[in-house]
A and B are shown apart, each in its own frame.
Chain A
Amino acid sequence: MRKTSDHEESGNDVEVLEKDREYTLTEVCTICRLDENGVQEYLDYGVVVYESSDEARFRQSQLDRLLRARRLQEDLELNHAGVALALDLLDTIARLKREIALLKR
């Protein structure tokens, strides 16, 4: 059993994750609990893209996007096309908000 105290020092084991870390298809499958066909479906709908080299490599941002898509789908009962649209619209809103913030300065 783990004891919970009011404060726990995180100590020196803080690891800054590289922003541009890349993941293999197998890693993405494990993290997102999908099989290869499952990931392929998201690729087909343009929810995520991978870096084209000799092997499919997914950037951190794409992995985050896929996880987000999975959560939204599960919680809001969306199909692939619906979640693709939702993510695109959320991106657009975020971009517009940034532009407005810039203009307001």
Chain B
Amino acid sequence: MEFVDYYKVMGLEEDASTDEIKRTYRKLARKYHPDVSKEPDSEARFKELGEAYNVLKDADRRREYDELKQYQSSGAGAGGFRPPPGWQSRESINPEDFSGPAGADYSDFFEQIFGSRFRQQGSAHTEQHFDARGQDIHSSLPVSIQDAFNGATVELSLSTPVVHHDGSIRNEQKKLKVKVPAGVTNGQKIRLRGQGGPGVGKGGSGDLYIEIQIREDSRFHLDGKDVSVSVPVTPWEAALGASIDVPTLNGTVKMTVPANARQGQRLRLKGRGLPGKTPGDQYVILSVIVPKAETDEQKKAYQTMSELWSVDPRARDGGIS
């Protein structure tokens, strides 16, 4: 087990005042709150922060932690941290008292130091016997746009509460294979029954809710079930019309570019978006590229064009005459 430096987590000096700790926590909590931050590790960061604050804000708990920290830095913790023999926290954590991410979601390190008493309290409860349904777990799952189109089995690792022999509930990493149905959209929620937290007594397990997050793709962009893709065309293809190959999520298809197509024009391929009861469409956005004039002949061709058209693109009306 790694020793967690709570001062480092909060970016504080070891002699920081209680006020300073409180101020820093509030500031960092705003920054790393998973509902605010879009950083992928914000959830873990926020949890760690809550734990650090929970220990450092309380003078007694902090004193105990400082003692352990000193013990650790005296070299006793080589090859991972273990509390001194016979270590028993004088402080117990009251879950009510825990300001930070909701729920009893502590790291192993925290459990080891402050968890023992809390666990005893927990098992005392179960002796009274009651049934309760396990908690629902909410998680998100990043999938590629291709997997959203075809449907796929994607591995999700999540931290889920597990009941141990002694009646304690601790979080464990679990890997779950999730069947993602074809045609899911970004932000869509799916539910896996019974894959949430374990129930108590006769209470069944909670459910697992997963929010699908479709990853950005370099070619395909999504808007609901519609897909858009930018396709380069030459000026003569745009002017004369052409049959061109365009990529879709289901492979390359032929598409007709109408004559006198414009830069940025959107053409629709019906039903080529994400599948579903009403499948989405694919929009092809034409991007006219300007070939370089390199040889004398090419330069001459551009010269001829300049004589054939009298276009002033800087004119207020766009200058197309």
Q: A residues engaging B (CB < 8 A)? A: 1-2, 4, 6-17, 19, 60, 68, 71-72, 74-77, 86, 90, 105
B102 touches A71 (CB 8 A): yes
**B218-241 vs A, Cβ < 8 Å mask (1 yes, 0 no):** 000100000000100000000000
Among residues of A, the one whose C-beta sits closest to the C-beta of B102 is A74
- Interchain Cβ contacts under 8 Å between A and B, 10 examples: A2-B163, A7-B155, A8-B174, A8-B175, A15-B193, A19-B187, A71-B35, A72-B35, A75-B100, A76-B30
Q: Quick one: which of B29, B191, B194 contacts A76, CB cutoff 8 A? A: B29
Q: Quick one: which of B172, B178, B190 contacts A17, CB cutoff 8 A? A: B190
Mark out the residues of chain B between 240 and 295 whose CB falls within 8 Å of any chain A CB in the assembled complex.
none
A13 touches B192 (CB 8 A): yes
Contacts of A90 in B (CB 8 A): 35-36
B175 touches A13 (CB 8 A): no
A16 touches B102 (CB 8 A): no
Contacts of B230 in A (CB 8 A): 105
Nearest CB of B to A6, in Å:
6
Among residues of B, the one whose C-beta sits closest to the C-beta of A3 is B162
Among residues of A, the one whose C-beta sits closest to the C-beta of B224 is A19
B177 touches A10 (CB 8 A): yes
A10-B176 CB under 8 A given contacts A68-B35, A75-B33: yes
Nearest CB of A to B176, in Å:
5
The 8 closest A-B pairs by CB, nearest first: A17-B189, A15-B191, A10-B178, A13-B193, A68-B35, A14-B179, A16-B190, A10-B192
B77 on the interface (CB 8 Å rule)? no
How many A-B contacts if CB must be within 8 Å? 84
A13-B194 CB under 8 A given contacts A2-B163, A90-B36: yes
B195 on the interface (CB 8 Å rule)? yes
Q: Quick one: which of A2, A14, A74, A76 contacts B192, CB cutoff 8 A? A: A14
Contacts of A60 in B (CB 8 A): 189
Contacts of B23 in A (CB 8 A): none
A17 touches B33 (CB 8 A): no
B300 on the interface (CB 8 Å rule)? no
Among residues of A, the one whose C-beta sits closest to the C-beta of B183 is A16
Among residues of B, the one whose C-beta sits closest to the C-beta of A94 is B38
A75 touches B29 (CB 8 A): yes
A71 to B101, CA, bound (A): 8
B101 touches A14 (CB 8 A): no
B126 on the interface (CB 8 Å rule)? no
A10-B36 CB under 8 A given contacts A71-B102, A75-B100: no
Nearest CB of A to B218, in Å:
10
A105 touches B221 (CB 8 A): yes
A8 to B174, CA, bound (A): 9
A4-B172 CB under 8 A given contacts A68-B35, A74-B102: yes
B165 on the interface (CB 8 Å rule)? yes
A17 touches B191 (CB 8 A): yes
Contacts of A2 in B (CB 8 A): 162-163, 198, 205
A35 to B145, CA, bound (A): 41
A17 touches B188 (CB 8 A): yes
B90 on the interface (CB 8 Å rule)? no
B181 on the interface (CB 8 Å rule)? yes
